[in-house]
Amino acid sequence: MEIEAKRWGFRGKIELNAASASTVRGYLNQIIARINKDNSSSVIRLGHGDPSHFPSFKTTPAAEDAIVDALRSAKHNCYAPSAGVLPARRAIADYLNRDLPCKLSPDDVYLTSGCNQAIEVAINVLSRPGANILLPRPGFPYYESCSAYNHLEVRHYDLLPEKGWEVDLDAVETIADENTVALVIINPGNPCGNVFSYEQLHKVAETARKLGILVISDEAYDNLAFGSTRYVPMRVLGSTVPVLTLGSISKRWIVSGCN
Ligand SMILES: *Cc1c(COP(=O)(O)O)cnc(C)c1O
């Protein structure tokens, strides 16, 4: 990859090394390392995914106190259940149930160390010889990495820029087959920043139901929605199609040190 970038404050032409940059962050790190220091004030870094780098985004003292109290109580210096402790799973189920017609129980909740580990677990569980998974393009590259690690075939469907990054549902129907295990959506979208409307989610659910596949809805940015489209979580359509919601406290709650 080669970019001509003098006017961006870089030292002329940049040769990016694809071998050492299998992720967006890999490319980004190479670009940042080449920023011309004298010109750096004119470069706005929009590629920073970690809110804790910005002084205006602070982890809430409630989260810090809860961790300190748990540590000092000496009640948790032992192995925890793999799925997470019951009070935490119950609190998450109660929180999610606020906007759900069919209620979740704590047993529907599985705690991981960040959303990235949730992606790992989901891909791990779904992988079997010959299976494939439908991923958005552009998307979040960790899905591709986990699929490659688990020998799960990736099939990409496009997000359509001219339609506000809607899912190309015709493409989804074309690339899916009897070995497709799931369709991944990212809502609100990373990297496009779009928010799927309820109507769009409904169409995604209908398509997945027709194909007999699970929808994995990555909502790491839940409620961080700008613009006029109201954020609706995919799980409200859980009676149409099975939905696996992946969530995180890293972004919205600024506890990115949880992984
Ligand atoms: C940040 C992010 C993740 C990873 O979340 P962590 O909780 O930090 O592990 C997963 N998916 C998307 C779309 C993200 O932007």
CA distance 221 to 206: 24
Write the single-letter amino acid at 89: R
Contact 137, 158 (CB under 8 A): yes
Query: Which pLDDT value is given to residue 1?
Result: 41
CB atoms within 10 A of CB 59: 17
Q: List, in order, residues 6 or more apart from 40 with CB less than 8 Å away.
A: 9
- On whether both 42 and 118 belong to a single domain, the answer is no
- On whether both 192 and 117 belong to a single domain, the answer is yes
Nearest CA to ligand 1 atom 1: 220
- Of 13-27, 51-65, 169-183, 191-205, least confident by mean pLDDT is 13-27
Q: Give the pTM.
A: 0.86
- On whether both 43 and 162 belong to a single domain, the answer is no
Range of 202's domain? 112-246
Looking up residue 130, the CATH number of its domain turns out to be 3.40.640.10
Helix residue spans in the chain (DSSP H): 24-33, 61-72, 86-97, 114-126, 142-149, 169-175, 198-211
Mean pLDDT computed over 17-28: 66
pLDDT bin (cut points 50, 70, 90) of residue 207 is very high
Sign of CA dihedral 102, 103, 107, 109: positive
- Residue 253 maps to a domain: no
- On whether both 33 and 128 belong to a single domain, the answer is no
143 within ligand 1 shell (Cβ under 6 A): no
112 within ligand 1 shell (Cβ under 6 A): no
218 within ligand 1 shell (Cβ under 6 A): yes
What separation in Å is there between the alpha carbon of 39 and the centre of ligand 1? Answer: 31
What's the pLDDT tens digit per position in 78-136?
A: 998 999 999 999 999 999 999 898 899 999 999 999 999 999 999 999 999 999 999 99
Query: Which pLDDT value is given to residue 124?
Result: 97
Q: What is the mean pLDDT of the chain?
A: 88
The larger pLDDT score, comparing residue 43 to residue 163, is at 163
Nearest CA to ligand 1 atom 11: 220
Q: Which of 115, 139, 134 is nearest to 192 (CA)?
A: 139
Q: How is residue 29 written in tokens?
A: 């790190």
- Residue 87 maps to a domain: no
What separation in Å is there between the alpha carbon of 116 and the centre of ligand 1? Answer: 6
Alpha-carbon Rg of the chain, whole angstroms? 20
- Residue 187 maps to a domain: yes
User: 3-state class of 207 per DSSP?
Assistant: helix
pLDDT exceeds cutoff 60 at 19: no
pLDDT exceeds cutoff 90 at 54: no
Question: How many domains is the chain partitioned into structurally?
Answer: 2
Choose which residue among 92, 115, 187 to substitute to test ligand 1 binding: the one with the highest number of ligand atoms within 8 A of its C-beta: 115
Contact 253, 220 (CB under 8 A): no
- Residue 93 maps to a domain: no
- On whether both 29 and 118 belong to a single domain, the answer is no
- Residue 94 maps to a domain: no
What's the pLDDT tens digit per position in 220-255?
A: 999 888 888 999 999 999 999 999 999 999 988 888
